[in-house]
Structure 1
Amino acid sequence: MQNSIRIVTLCCVISLIGGCGFFSVYKRDQPQGNLITPEMVQQVQQGMTREQVTYIMGAPLMDNPFDANQWDYVYQLHTADGQVYDKRVSLYFQDDQVSYIDTSGDIGTAPPAREQAPPASEATTTPLQPVTPIQSSTPSAGD
């Protein structure tokens, strides 16, 4: 009886300790804001209209209440290992056209990927086959 109580107590203690954080918990990356890629920033040029910018970059994250001619795109990524990546693009308009582009953060590089897809040369793809419709063997009500 004494041994069975000790074994049960030991099993309970081990199961409680296992859930207390000795083993790391899966953490995922937390992106926030507008996704900003180097290709997007390179496409935006001075003289573009607001509609053209919206097509490339999307809607701005923040509307400046003090200056309607400034659009801010902000992106922040908190990685699972605790690193933080900040990117910011501010576009200034004059006569509804981009007059100045201000960038900050590391726009030119992407944060390290956790899992990488295989290169296109190594990727295995199967060609899609056309789907043929199935013919019904039961006559319709109109026949």
Structure 2
Amino acid sequence: MTALLAGCSGVSMPDFSMPKLPNVHKFDIQQGNVITQDMIDQLRPGMTKSQVRFVMGTPLISDTFNEDRWDYYYSLSPSNGEEVRERMAIFFENDQLVGFRGDFIPTAVNIDTTE
């Protein structure tokens, strides 16, 4: 039996992989919530969960054990380019926005101090 198995070890499987075919269209794969800088700039401390949901959309991940954290994730795998991944975690206390962290930072707000 051992000799039979040893004889099979030299046999290799044929390569069934498909060669790249020219002019074959590949689709871009988009997953999650699109996150834009404009959306992040609209977030303000003290906003309610419903206000944040209006600005950001429904979170991709809503943890049942931690209802005060919402996670947003977006990925784009273009057929001919580099993959894009963006993440945001939003934190609440007493149903009010207290902070967030991720791949975006808020744009500085211009404050008129001439008055």
Q: TM-score, normalised by structure 2?
A: 0.69
1:37 Cα offset (Å): 1.0
Name the residue aligned to 1:34: 33
Contact 1:87 1:104 in 2 (8 A): yes
Q: TM-score, normalised by structure 1?
A: 0.56
Distance, in Å, in 2 between the alignment partners of 1:105 and 1:47 is 19
Deviation string 1:22-64 (CA, Å, 9 cap, x unpaired) is 4131112111001111111111121110010011111111111
1:105 Cα offset (Å): 6.8
1:45-124 superposed matches below 5 A: 45-104=44-103
What are the ranges of 5 or more consecutive residues in structure 1 without an aligned counterpart?
Answer: 1-19, 109-143
RMSD: 2.5
Count of aligned residue pairs for this structure pair: 90
The letter of the residue matching 1:29 is: D
Distance, in Å, in 2 between the alignment partners of 1:75 and 1:105 is 12
Aligned-partner SS, 1:72: strand
What are the ranges of 5 or more consecutive residues in structure 2 without an aligned counterpart?
Answer: 1-18, 108-115
Q: 4+ residue runs of structure 1 moved beyond 4 angstroms?
A: none
Distance, in Å, in 1 between the alignment partners of 2:67 and 2:32 is 19
Distance, in Å, in 2 between the alignment partners of 1:46 and 1:96 is 11
Aligned-partner SS, 1:24: coil
